[in-house]
Amino acid sequence: MIRQALFAGLAAGMLAACTADARASDDDVGATTQATVETITPEALADRIAAGESIQLIDVRTPEEFAQGHLTGAINIPVDRFDPAALPDPQGTARVLYCRSDRRSGIAAGRLAEASGEDAVHLDGGILAWEEADLPVKRD
């Protein structure tokens, strides 16, 4: 009798676990993958640029900060005016956003990922990390 009760309890537990697993996988059907915000190190970005990879660089700092120094070829779109829908067409190139330290570019990258449904990349540590890595900065 005890053995029969234990077996019944075990069977009920296994059935409940299987049902819970089935429900969880049913919930996954039709689920969408959320775009993420990723970072790239200054060295990795410099390597990609040196390899000739076409990258659209977007500096989200103020125009005054941009004029003090920026990555060669970057365009300036301050974070307070950053509208993912209004960005220039990257024409199949990768986009990398950056700012002074990576806080503002992280915000802009989040907006871009949410609006586009695609992963967005920003420079880890911003232009400060770029300069600390002794990489070139264009000064106007």
Active site residues: 99
DSSP 8-state symbol, 65 = H
Phi, psi of 70 (to 5 degrees): -150, 170
For 72-129, give the DSSP string.
TT-EE--GGG--GGGSPP-TT-EEEEE-SSSHHHHHHHHHHHHHHSS-EEEETTHHHH
Task: Please name the amino acid found at residue 67.
Answer: A
The angle subtended at Cα 103 by Cα 101 and Cα 109, nearest 5°, is: 115
